[in-house]
Amino acid sequence: MIELQLDRASSTTLVDQIARHIEVAITEGALQPGGRLPSWRDLSAQLGVARGTVRAAYEKLVDRQLLVTSRSGGTRVVDILPPSIVPTIGSESRNFLPPDASYRSDDPLVFQMGVPAADAFPATLWARLFRQAVQTTALRTGLSDPRGLIELRSAIASHVAISRGIECSPDQIIITGGFRSGLSLALRAIDATGKKAWVEDPGYPMTRLALEFAGVNVVPIPVNKQGLSVQDGQKLAPEATVAVVTPGQQAPSGVTMSQERRLELIRWAVKSDAWIVEDDYLAELHLSGQPSNALASGSGADRVIHIGTFSKTISPMVGIGFLVAPLPLARRLIDIATWLGSPPNAAVQVALAEFLREGHYLRHLRRTRRLYCERRGRLLETLTKFGVHTAVPAALSVVMPIPEGFDDQNIFVDARAAGLGPAPLSPWFNGGSCSPSGLILGVANVMERRIERDCRQLLTMIGDPLKNGGYGQNPLVISGLIDADN
């Protein structure tokens, strides 16, 4: 419905006020070309005016070629606005977004990280579960428990006990909108503003930015083959309040934190009265070997805030994550979730609970694990065929070096413009302009039928490797994160 206020004491007629409000909504982009307006009856009831008043306002705008009416289509904004109307939406509104917003995509791109395979999503099954959930939750608010619906919390508690080794009750589960929502709750609960946090170097750039926006002083800590270096952390920031880590599959290297390093990290947290935020974004999708248990399992779990998400395993559009609250922090986290958070849509929660309870999720993980393994192997084979012999697998990605003198962020921009989604490697390091360059190629949406075409298109943006000194050694190998034969 159109939100507008009428001034009955104004010398301007109600007809002109309504017409003016609608015209402004069109020029500001709130009403898009082709957009449908409320009927005379609905808008007159909303505004408390006669139907004839609304009809006269609409007819005035029809005369100005801003609206068009028909019996079947009702009243709509014209598809093509007249030259006299210049929409103000555009440059000003885009300035509110981050610089890279124009390179983001609603549709999954080839080589894009962090998105599941578009062709593996169980759309028919999910649609059935969601349709049933809508019917059963139509009159439920979903707000009675700030932690989320008990059906989903119970299903997640059972799932993480089996798949991640986490012993917790449904009372410790808080349903969130994803990793960022969970991280926000965690940072508020431990009162991290103005304090120091260890983050992995290299590590997920968005985590670093999120901490900075929350007023946390970020201290990058080197990562090696065993994971985040606790020894370096104690040297660089011994007074840190929190460490944010990806122990299951470190991003971007794919390294799993060793048991020795896990114990060392937990000992530090206990001794320093600090917290560990475990980003368990892909631990269930190990493509080789068995995934290790979560850091939040076993001894020391009461110092670990475990954050999981279904965005990367099912779909970002599900929009659900979860947080496992350690017992010493549970009351505080739940209080914050009560007053500063809001659980996702109740129907989506019920549908996901059924997806988990009926075993569909584990079957989906098994299928996608096999699919991603095949696609990663095929991508490595194709790159080798085209002369890239130093690309290495890293979790659900392949890290590819680029010839010396090329800027990975410029290649990223060119690739996005061409409909490809590789990520630049350099922003993951904290070295600024000295960071190693490379490309991270996600494997989830690499399709067999077009893989050679997509690889050729990407490599064409770099040029002939022989003329540019070859692709050289892999940045992750040079930095000692992984072995050349990883």
Q: How far apart, in whole angstroms, are the C-alpha atoms of residue 144 and residue 439?
A: 46
Please tell me which residue, 351 or 417, carries the higher pLDDT value: 351
Answer yes or no: is pLDDT of 316 > 80: yes
Torsion of CA 266, 270, 271, 274, to 10 degrees: 90
Q: Provide mean pLDDT across the span 242-257.
A: 94
Q: How confident is the model at residue 91 (pLDDT cuts 50, 70, 90)?
A: very low
Answer yes or no: is pLDDT of 359 > 70: yes
For tokens 């169980």, name the residue: 122
> Which two structure tokens, joined as six digits, stand for 429?
């390091």
Per-residue model confidence (pLDDT) at position 478: 81
- Could you report the per-residue pLDDT of 28-55, keeping only the tens digit for each? 888 888 999 999 899 999 888 999 999 9
Q: How far apart, in whole angstroms, are the C-alpha atoms of residue 103 and residue 117?
A: 20
Please tell me which residue, 11 or 268, carries the higher pLDDT value: 268
Per-residue CA distances from 237 to 11, 165, 272, 451 (Å): 67, 31, 11, 45
Per-residue model confidence (pLDDT) at position 469: 60
Per-residue model confidence (pLDDT) at position 168: 94
Answer yes or no: is pLDDT of 465 > 80: no
Answer yes or no: is pLDDT of 467 > 80: no
DSSP strands (E only) in 177-311: 196-201, 217-224, 227-228, 242-245, 275-279, 304-309
As a whole-number percent, the residues of the chain with pLDDT over 90 amount to 70
Please tell me which residue, 86 or 220, carries the higher pLDDT value: 220
Answer yes or no: is pLDDT of 385 > 80: yes
Q: How far apart, in whole angstroms, are the C-alpha atoms of residue 245 and residue 258?
A: 13
